[in-house]
Structure 1
Amino acid sequence: MTTARTVRWGAALGFGALWWWAVARLLLVPEAGALEGAVAAGGWGLSLLPVHCTPRARAEGALVAGRWRRAWRSGDR
């Protein structure tokens, strides 16, 4: 395994453990507060990011950049 891969896995496991700790505290500890809520919500929000996207230039069926701008300008006659 390369060093970069090891670091990525370590970071993923560490942040995953931190997220689970925050969720467990929110569910099990009556005094859990804003910090745990922010960590849990932030981790959930990050899971919604499209991290496996293809760059637009290489995507199949992608439209050319500036297409809408040209379409709006053509109506300015």
Structure 2
Amino acid sequence: MAGRIVRWGAVLGLGAVWWWAVLRLAVAPDAGALEGAVAAGGWGLSLLPVHCVPRGHAAGSLGKAAWRAACGTATRASPRPRSDGGSGLS
């Protein structure tokens, strides 16, 4: 229970600081680098994929063998070298 309270307190506190920085950038003529850094940092954190899980733990995920079977050999380069060794069209 205490962990949940601390977590919500941190979320609300950091959210309030981020909104303060964004509003200050929007309306205050003397807003500077600190407000810009806080606003950009908060926005950048929103882009992180925090809800991702490893492929093996995801519901309905495919294993490596299933991916190989689904992709086949169409996505792999030809194992045989060209006769002239050049990089032109084959």
**TM-score normalised over the length of structure 2:** 0.65
Aligned Cα root-mean-square deviation (Å)? 2.1
- Structure 1 match to 2:16: 17
* Structure 1 residue runs of 4 or more that deviate by more than 4 Å after TM superposition: none
Distance, in Å, in 1 between the alignment partners of 2:62 and 2:29 is: 51
Distance, in Å, in 2 between the alignment partners of 1:25 and 1:55 is: 39
Instruction: Tell me which amino acid in the other structure corresponds to 2:62.
Output: G
CA contact 2:55–2:62 (8 Å) conserved in 1: no
Q: For structure 2, which runs of at least 5 residues remain unmatched after alignment?
A: 69-78, 80-90
Identity %: 68
Q: How many residues align?
A: 67
Distance, in Å, in 2 between the alignment partners of 1:13 and 1:3 is: 15
Distance of aligned partners of 1:25 and 1:56 in 2 relative to their CA distance in 1, 3 Å threshold: same
Distance, in Å, in 1 between the alignment partners of 2:63 and 2:18 is: 36
**TM-score normalised over the length of structure 1:** 0.75
